[in-house]
Amino acid sequence: MRKEPVYSADFDFLPGHPAGVCLPQGFIAGAVYCGLKTYGEGKLDLGILVSSVPASVAGVFTTNLVRAAPVLWDEAVVQRGQAQAVIYNAGIANACTGAQGLADTREMATLTADKLGLSPELVLVTSTGVIGHLLPMHKIQQGVAALELVEGETAGLTASFCIMTTDTRPKRCVARLQLGGKQVLIGGMCKGAGMIHPNMATMLCYLTTDAAATPEFLQAIIRELVQESFNAITVDGDTSTNDSVLALANGLAGNPTLGQAASAEDELKFKEALRAVMVYLAKEIARDGEGATKLIEIWVRGAASKEEAHLVARTAAGSNLTKAAIFGSDPNWGRVIAAAGRSGAKFAPEKVDIYFGEIPLMLAGVPQPFEKAEAQEALKGPTVYITLDLHAGEDDALAWGCDLTQEYVVINSEYET
Q: What is the DSSP pairing of strand 244-249 with strand 204-209?
A: parallel
Annotated active-site residue 97? The verdict is no
Number of residues that make up the chain:
417
Distance, CA of 323 to CA of 327 (rounded, Å): 6
Catalytic, out of 97, 165, 202, 209: 202
Residue 184's Cβ-side half-sphere holds a number of Cα atoms within 13 Å equal to 30
The number of beta carbons lying within 10 Å of the beta carbon of residue 146 is: 12
Using an 8 Å Cβ cutoff, are 400 and 233 in contact? yes
The number of beta carbons lying within 10 Å of the beta carbon of residue 54 is: 17
Nearest to 74 by CA among 249, 244, 248: 244
Distance, CA of 342 to CA of 354 (rounded, Å): 16
Contacts of 26 (CB under 8 A, 6+ apart): 51, 52, 53, 210, 250, 252
The number of beta carbons lying within 10 Å of the beta carbon of residue 382 is: 9
Using only C-alpha atoms, what is the Rg of the chain?
A: 22
Residue 187, strand partner residues: 174, 208
Output phi, psi for 345, to 5 deg: -75, 155
Residue 116, strand partner residues: none
Nearest to 177 by CA among 6, 9, 7, 11: 11
Ramachandran region, residue 292 (left: φ > 0; alpha: ψ -120 to 50; beta: rest): beta
The residues carrying an active-site annotation are: 202
